[in-house]
Structure 1
Amino acid sequence: MKIKEIRRIFFILKVFLKHRLLGILILKRSKFLSYMIHSKKPIARRICLSFQELGPIWIKLGQFLSTREDLLSKKICKQLSSLQNRVSVFDGKLAKSYIEESLGKKIQEIFADFNEIPLASASISQIHGAILKKNNLSVIIKIIRPEILSTIRTDIKLLFKLSDWINFFKKVKFFDLIELISEYKRTIIKELNLLNESVNTMQLRRNFKNSSMLYIPKIYIEYSRTNVMVAERIYGISISNVKKLKERNLDLKKLAENGVKIFFTQVFRDNFFHADMHPGNILVDDKLSKYIGVDCGIVGSLTKRHRYFLAKNFINFFNRNYRKIAESLIDLSEREDKDESEIYEIELFVRTICEPIFKKPISEISFGKFLLRLFSIFNRFNVKIHPQIVLLQKNLLYVESLGKKLYPNLDLWKTAKPFIEEWLHQQLKISSILNLISREMPELVDRLKNIPELFDKFLKFSNHYMNNLHNNNRLIVHNSKRIDRLIRISKLICYFLILKTSLILILSIYRT
């Protein structure tokens, strides 16, 4: 371990001790020591103060943890969400030389004007205004902080070491610390690569081209690198500034409903959703009355199976069909044995946590909180939660919160239900099934090429056993099940070939 790392560890321990966080480790090991480091401040507040003092990387970690209500208590998550990036700006001249080094050209060759005073500064990046020379349009230049990558890697190494020490002193039972830090590492490394953000933004822009609900700024990919991104400069009102939106006489009810539609369009139609939709990343164009989305560094997508699971269970939830929810949870766990008593137990548990929700007016029912309750069922019955579903749940809470801030009587279910039902209906249409077959056909044909070889192996295998019928009765008995299975497989192959031929004929008729 390097001297720099040792000093950093001691500083981290000093901060934890200052805010009485080391008591978490020794609380059950020494009454004397736990008394000595006792604090009247709530643990959520102490964690928040510690992260604030430890600097940008820990602030980012706190913001990341604030979205994980499936792992941490609501009080801790709420406190961590208040963390702000109180970081000093770095010198504009340094930023200028950094941009020139990354782009391989002098700043005046690309930009007609460059403002050395930053527009904004965050824990891992800084933003400057400029005017692009080729079209005389205003742009922003986002720059990753110099040397931040090495600092992040050092702190992440130390986080892994600290988690090992925490597990040594006191095993954390309700979540895996190593897995949590690994997930944070993946998230922040993605954010550090601005080419990721560039291509994500371009994809979202394509998905919402000519949309009346959402505008995504243009990216100038030719001037974007891993540490520099050039994008169209946009102007709008912060979504959280409801007072100003009211002053501009915007239809807040329609704006709130459009937010819900945008979210579900991203999830179900595009399967590509902005996964960091907090108020700081959403503006409103008051002239066109539409949203503007920025900072697309983190995006999410779901498998079709998970999308179907969500859509189906949103419908089941509002129809109070708890039996179907229980069955779908068992299906998601991929268990071969479906114990009827366990399905009944899950159904009872789902009923217990969901029924109280319906005592509220339907406009107060939260999709995000419903998903959070589903997570508690996942944990109870050892069903692994897909990380992308956690991302989706976090952003669904953002959308609901913002929507109800704009229009308190927003009935999210009324807005979303037709959309979800239509998506489910589309999945069952003959045209959708045929399109799926058409997309998968090349792969199916490629796999079918192996059937003659497999069939030949099967025949040789059968002949081998038939030739040894009289000499090895015990072997026959032992492998009889295997032979029966192979015979059934061969029948299935024949049926599959017949089905494939029929589908190709249907597809050709359908296309004509």
Structure 2
Amino acid sequence: MPMAMGVEEPDTVRRAAEGGFLERRFAANAATAAITAAQAVSEAVAMRELEAPDVDKSFIAQDIGSERVKTVDEEGLPLVYDKALIEKYWKAQGSALQQRWTEFLGLSVPFLTKMVGMLITGGTGELQKNEKNLAEDARIIIEKLGPTYIKGGQMMSVRPDVLSQPVLEELSKLQDAVKPFNSSVAIAQIERELGQPLGAVFTEISEEPVAAASLAQVYKAKLAATGEWVAVKIQRPSVLSVVSKDLYVLRRAAEVYQGLMERFAPRQRTNYVGLLNEWAIGFYTELDFTNEAKNQMKMRELLDKEDVSGVYVPQVYEDLCTRRLLVTEWIDGKKLSQCEPKEVRELIEVGQECFLTQLLKVGFFHADP
């Protein structure tokens, strides 16, 4: 309200008014800056070329065989992470990449703007006060963005050295809260992978999945040939296409961010592009279930040979496995979080023996997959 004529406005009132105005102005500028930055990144990622070490020089290529490094699937997507082949494929898909980038910005920019507004108006204390709600918002956004981001969120949910407890608790929901895809679609995909009707291989199969994850879901079934119960893991439809596109977009964004860091924070030495590249190579490898099958069979053989007590690796039915389908022995069990403290202490000793055997004796470490 304006002051009466001839009455001088007190300094405290004036400073408070100016402070409120500046605070609102800074918040508005921050929001505008976030949107402008997002638009700039959007334009930049459409023009920059990808730069990364070739996959055939990575640790992954040593295990999968050089003949598979340049192999593509029926759609033209590489079976092994290859930046050049992925770039070639998506450049030929018209506006698909831009649509995905727009979707990413549409979900992430409002969240980032909200965080910036809190930081400007209330500092880090305001962020900490709203940490739980922000973590929930982030988890919902991750779920909407799909398997690539869910996988990244799951990875971060076990990093107490990086994130606070409220954030870890929220991200841990990504471990079990992934929605399954339609079972009729899953059954049709299982039959395509088997190359024969479901009844020719299984006499029974659960109507709904017993578990759903970011890349696949699992059904419990009984083998027609032996009557044994098995776990049938089937990949989500089009997951290779979705993941390759997301990795492409993330890789470009990382290059832009790396350039900004080198320009404005030259003392910051983290190689974000290299980190993302290594994660992408390993993550992409998980999309081929034949790798998981081979690793599981090798671990089963090695631990049996070393007579490691307390550890059992389920049998793999290799003749039923494909790139998108994994069939293994069904084992009933429970999560470590459901065990009593005494059981946990006993299992820690078992885990230590198993870990050291892999690390020091057999030279093969299994980290799923």
* 2:253 is aligned with 1:150: no
* d(CA) in 2 for partners of 1:254, 1:123: 31
Measured against aligned partners, the alpha-carbon deviations of 1:19-63 in whole angstroms (never above 9, x if no partner) come to 126978xxxxxxx99848988334883755643443332121122
Aligned to 1:179: 274
* d(CA) in 1 for partners of 2:256, 2:163: 25
Select which of 333, 338, 356 maps to 1:264: 356
* d(CA) in 1 for partners of 2:257, 2:141: 16
Measured against aligned partners, the alpha-carbon deviations of 1:308-336 in whole angstroms (never above 9, x if no partner) come to xxxxxxxxxxxxxxxxxxxxxxxxxxxxx
Aligned to 1:103: 194
* d(CA) in 1 for partners of 2:334, 2:156: 28
Offset, 1:15 = 2.3
* d(CA) in 2 for partners of 1:63, 1:191: 14
Once the two structures are overlaid, the 10-residue window that deviates more, 15-24 or 92-101, is 15-24
Asked if structure 2 preserves the Cα contact closer than 8 Å seen for 1:56 and 1:124, the reply is: yes
Aligned to 2:99: 7
Asked if structure 2 preserves the Cα contact closer than 8 Å seen for 1:217 and 1:231, the reply is: yes
Offset, 1:166 = 2.3
Asked if structure 2 preserves the Cα contact closer than 8 Å seen for 1:56 and 1:87, the reply is: no
Aligned to 2:174: 84
Measured against aligned partners, the alpha-carbon deviations of 1:410-433 in whole angstroms (never above 9, x if no partner) come to xxxxxxxxxxxxxxxxxxxxxxxx
Aligned to 2:257: 166
Select which of 205, 210, 215 maps to 1:114: 205
SS where residue 233 of structure 2 aligns? strand
* 2:312 is aligned with 1:215: yes
Q: 5+ unaligned residues in a row in structure 2: which ranges?
A: 1-90
Asked if structure 1 preserves the Cα contact closer than 8 Å seen for 2:358 and 2:365, the reply is: yes
* d(CA) in 1 for partners of 2:158, 2:302: 26
Measured against aligned partners, the alpha-carbon deviations of 1:352-398 in whole angstroms (never above 9, x if no partner) come to xxxxxxxxxxxxxxxxxxxxxxxxxxxxxxxxxxxxxxxxxxxxxxx
- 2:365 counterpart letter in structure 1: F
Select which of 102, 105, 112 maps to 1:20: 112
Select which of 151, 155, 161 maps to 1:64: 155
Aligned to 1:41: 127
- The 5 A counterparts of 1:227-376 are 227-243=324-340, 253-275=345-367, 296-297=368-369
Offset, 1:167 = 3.0
Aligned to 1:226: 323
Count of aligned positions: 263
Structure 1 pair 163–19 and aligned structure 2 pair: CA distance change class (3 A): same
Offset, 1:104 = 1.2
Please say which structure displays the higher CA radius of gyration. 1
* d(CA) in 2 for partners of 1:237, 1:52: 25
| Aligned-CA RMSD value | 3.2
Measured against aligned partners, the alpha-carbon deviations of 1:285-342 in whole angstroms (never above 9, x if no partner) come to xxxxxxxxxxx31xxxxxxxxxxxxxxxxxxxxxxxxxxxxxxxxxxxxxxxxxxxxx
Structure 1 pair 50–169 and aligned structure 2 pair: CA distance change class (3 A): farther
Q: 5+ unaligned residues in a row in structure 1: which ranges?
A: 25-31, 276-295, 298-512
Offset, 1:144 = 0.8
Structure 1 pair 216–21 and aligned structure 2 pair: CA distance change class (3 A): farther
* d(CA) in 1 for partners of 2:169, 2:158: 11
TM-score normalised by the chain length of structure 2: 0.63
SS where residue 218 of structure 2 aligns? strand
- 2:127 counterpart letter in structure 1: K
Offset, 1:83 = 4.8
Highest RCO, 1 vs 2 (Cα 8 Å, sep ≥ 6): 2
Measured against aligned partners, the alpha-carbon deviations of 1:478-500 in whole angstroms (never above 9, x if no partner) come to xxxxxxxxxxxxxxxxxxxxxxx
Structure 1 pair 274–81 and aligned structure 2 pair: CA distance change class (3 A): farther
Structure 1 pair 177–111 and aligned structure 2 pair: CA distance change class (3 A): same
Counting aligned pairs with the same residue, the percent is: 25
